[in-house]
């Protein structure tokens, strides 16, 4: 166990020393995805605003405050799209990076941080759009917003651990790419992204209380919407994050040298 931990930490520290490499690769990926387009990466902002507008227009409950629901959906979609992206793209990560893994001696964690950086850049456009929607909807900028910022930071810190776990899952079980992809698409409807839980029973009660994604949304959404500190949500997300990092260290330490034979 100690040797596996040391091996994982050596790989992580080695990747951190090469941060210019994965930062440059991530920026190159973003640029390549929008090469020759008129708006470039600004399409990420346009796509986010279009989704928020569509969901607010279609799903706004009757009698609900339009401005408040716009803020609710804007924050929910911002966090959900980020989580859905990092999980969905993590599963085929090592197979997608196969040529680099086989042809270079870069630490395996470099590819994890490459995807983390990519997703963080894309999420930055959504964050900018979300702030604009919040201000236009009349949300007052209060000190409680700092708790929301802390929630987003917690999600960002958890990302490399989440990416590592799902990347190894994809390497071990190739079918998991399709299983997890379908689960994430269905999971959006079982997570209070655009529907509001207000104490009702049935499936929504269980989808809210037993769905870990609900708490990831709450740590970013509750402080802005209510001005309160969501202590329970922070506890749950912190616990999930620590568990994901523990699994990531174990997998990285034990299997990072064998991954080339699995892909």
E strand map for the chain: none
**What is the per-residue pLDDT across 93-142, written as a single tens digit (0 to 9) for each?**
999 988 888 888 889 999 999 999 999 999 999 999 999 999 888 888 88
Flag whether pLDDT at 80 surpasses 80: yes
| Average pLDDT of the residues in 180-199 | 88
Domain locations along the chain? 2-31+39-262
- What's the pTM? 0.92
**What is the per-residue pLDDT across 36-61, written as a single tens digit (0 to 9) for each?**
887 788 888 888 999 888 888 877 76
Confirm if 222 and 71 have CB atoms less than 8 A apart. no
Burial 119-139 (b: 16+ CB within 10 A, else e): bbbbbebbbebbeebbeebeb
Confirm if 113 and 15 have CB atoms less than 8 A apart. yes
**Rounded CA gap, 139 and 222, in Å?**
12
pLDDT band at 65; cut points 50, 70, 90 = low
DSSP 8-state class, residue 105:
-
Residue 191 backbone class (left: φ over 0; alpha: ψ -120 to 50; beta: rest): beta
Confirm if 85 and 236 have CB atoms less than 8 A apart. no
Confirm if 230 and 219 have CB atoms less than 8 A apart. yes
**Rounded CA gap, 165 and 251, in Å?**
7
**Rounded CA gap, 94 and 110, in Å?**
11
The DSSP line for 150-179 is HHHHHHHHHHHHHHHHHHHHHHH-TTHHHH
* Enclosing H/E stretch for 217: helix 212-226
148: its two tokens: 């929301």
**Rounded CA gap, 152 and 26, in Å?**
20
**Rounded CA gap, 208 and 215, in Å?**
8
pLDDT band at 243; cut points 50, 70, 90 = very high
Nearest of 117, 213, 218, 102 to residue 163 by alpha carbon: 117
pLDDT band at 68; cut points 50, 70, 90 = confident
């Amino acid at each position: 166990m100690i040797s596996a931990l040391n091996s994982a930490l050596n790989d992580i520290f080695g990747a951190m020393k090469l941060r210019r490499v994965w930062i440059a690769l991530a920026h190159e990926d973003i640029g390549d995805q929008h090469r020759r387009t008129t708006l470039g990466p600004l399409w990420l902002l346009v796509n986010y605003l279009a989704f928020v507008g569509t969901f607010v227009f279609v799903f706004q409950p009757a009698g609900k405050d339009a401005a408040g629901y716009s803020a609710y959906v804007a924050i929910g979609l911002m966090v959900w799209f980020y989580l859905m992206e990092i999980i969905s793209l993590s599963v085929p990560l090592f197979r997608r990076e196969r040529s680099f893994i086989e042809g270079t001696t870069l630490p395996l964690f470099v590819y994890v941080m490459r995807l983390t950086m990519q997703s963080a850049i894309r999420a930055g456009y959504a964050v900018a759009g979300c702030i604009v929607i919040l201000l236009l909807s009349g949300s007052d900028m209060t000190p409680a917003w700092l708790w929301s910022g802390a929630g987003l930071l917690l999600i960002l810190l958890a990302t490399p651990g989440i990416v590592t776990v799902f990347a190894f899952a994809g390497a071990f079980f190739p079918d998991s790419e399709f299983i997890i992809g379908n689960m994430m698409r269905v999971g959006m409807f079982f997570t209070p992204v655009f529907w509001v839980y207000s104490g009702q029973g049935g499936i929504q009660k269980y989808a809210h209380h037993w769905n870990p994604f609900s708490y990831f949304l709450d740590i970013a959404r509750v402080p802005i919407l209510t001005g309160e500190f969501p202590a329970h949500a922070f506890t749950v997300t912190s616990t999930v994050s620590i568990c994901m990092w523990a699994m990531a260290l174990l997998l990285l330490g034990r299997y990072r040298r064998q991954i080339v034979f699995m892909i």
